[in-house]
Chain A
Amino acid sequence: MKPLIDELHKAFESRVRLGIMSVLAVNDSMDFNALKEYLQVTDGNLASHLKALESEEFIGVKKTFVGRKPNTTYAMTKKGKKAFDDHLKALENLIKLYRK
């Protein structure tokens, strides 16, 4: 039982991070404001979670300009996709275990 728990990645312990990864798993890329809207969190909160995922190299950041306004978009990296899929699988396995 213990190894199953170990498979749950530490980076995904937070709901916000899990939410960010879920959104990026099904969208090619997403900008900061759209993420903020889906997750219903403050700027600072979202930024710190994004930074954490970025330092794990789970997400990539692209900074562009829309007119004069800076626009930051985020996308999932291959490494992030794999970690996310593994985490999802581990969660499903854990739940299956209880059903028995």
Chain B
Amino acid sequence: MLDYGISAHFYISSSIYQTSFEINSFFMKEKEDYISDIAEMRSMMERSTRFMSLSAMGVILVGVYALAGVFIAYQVIGFDPRETISPDMTNRLLGFGGMLMMISIITVLLLSYKKASGNHEKFWNPTFQRLFIHALIPLLTGGILILILVAKDLPLFIIPFSLVFYGLMLYTAGKFTYPAFQRVGLLDIALGLFCTYFTGYSLGSWAIGFGLLHIALGLYLYFRYER
């Protein structure tokens, strides 16, 4: 580009070159700044609308508990959705299911609390409050519906409905935390509807929906966001 021969144009062309070089280097210096500006803005928008401190390890553990729970329900408690379910069996199943849910919730909350403090974030912040309120509504609806099923002696539908309403909860929660929750929510809803019709497959569907899908979701979140 630079002409070393002495000519009348030399000074002009070199000065033009100089100018364009200066503009260029000015741009180059700022380029990284602009990109990091945009990255910063995006992360700020995300952090202020979505709760990003939900622990991936917690989600994986919930899946592991669920698989263990299915095993215990089938082998130890002797629950089989293909046979008639006695009221006594329903009660034991409800008690065991409730315990499993409590342990799962406590695990996720504790690990998320730890993650939030690691991120220098308050746990009970506006994004968590929003997530909490929106997740609570489908979950409470499902919970009350299941108690009504028990009262009306329809235990066959407890497991399918728990999948459907949990799926609805995940789908809603996906707007207030990781978007991947929505896809898993849709799969849980599909599984729940499937085993509402084919009730014999309900325990297997539950193992997939609450066990395998949680583990898959947790692994995805871990590799995507935490590593």
Contacts and interface: CB of A to CB of B under 8 A. Distances in A.
Mutual binders A and B: yes
Interface of A: 1, 15, 18-19, 22-23, 25-27, 30, 34, 37-40, 88, 91-92, 94-95, 98
Nearest to A1: B23
B125 interface: yes
B151 interface: no
Nearest to A95: B34
B37 A23 contact: no
A26 B120 contact: no
Contacts of B42: 22
Interface of B is mostly: helix
21 contacts: A15-B40, A18-B41, A19-B41, A19-B44, A22-B42, A22-B44, A22-B45, A22-B48, A23-B45, A25-B45, A27-B48, A34-B48, A38-B47, A40-B120, A91-B34, A91-B37, A94-B31, A95-B34, A95-B35, A98-B27, A98-B31
A15 B30 CA distance: 14
B38 A19 contact: no
B49 interface: yes
A26 B37 contact: no
Given A26-B48, A26-B49, A40-B120, A94 B40 contact: no
Interface string B116-156: 00001110011000000000000000000000000000000
Contacts of B37: 15, 18, 91
Interface of A is mostly: helix
Contacts of A39: 44
Contacts of A98: 27, 31
A18 to B, nearest CB: 6
A30 B48 contact: yes
A91 to B, nearest CB: 5
Interface of B: 23, 27, 30-31, 34-35, 37-38, 40-42, 44-45, 47-49, 120-122, 125-126
Given A34-B125, A37-B121, A37-B125, A95 B38 contact: yes
Contacts of B23: 1
Given A1-B27, A22-B41, A27-B49, 14 more contacts: A1-B23, A15-B40, A19-B40, A22-B45, A37-B122, A37-B125, A38-B48, A39-B44, A88-B41, A91-B37, A94-B30, A94-B34, A95-B31, A95-B35
Which of A1, A22, A25, A94 is the most central at the interface, judged by chain B CB atoms within 10 Å of its CB? A22
Which of A23, A30, A39 is the most central at the interface, judged by chain B CB atoms within 10 Å of its CB? A23
Which of B27, B31, B35, B41 is the most central at the interface, judged by chain A CB atoms within 10 Å of its CB? B41
B37 to A, nearest CB: 6
B86 to A, nearest CB: 52
A23 B44 contact: yes
A23 B47 CA distance: 8
Given A19-B44, A23-B45, A38-B48, A92 B27 contact: no
Contacts of A22: 40-42, 44-45, 48
A30 B131 CA distance: 17
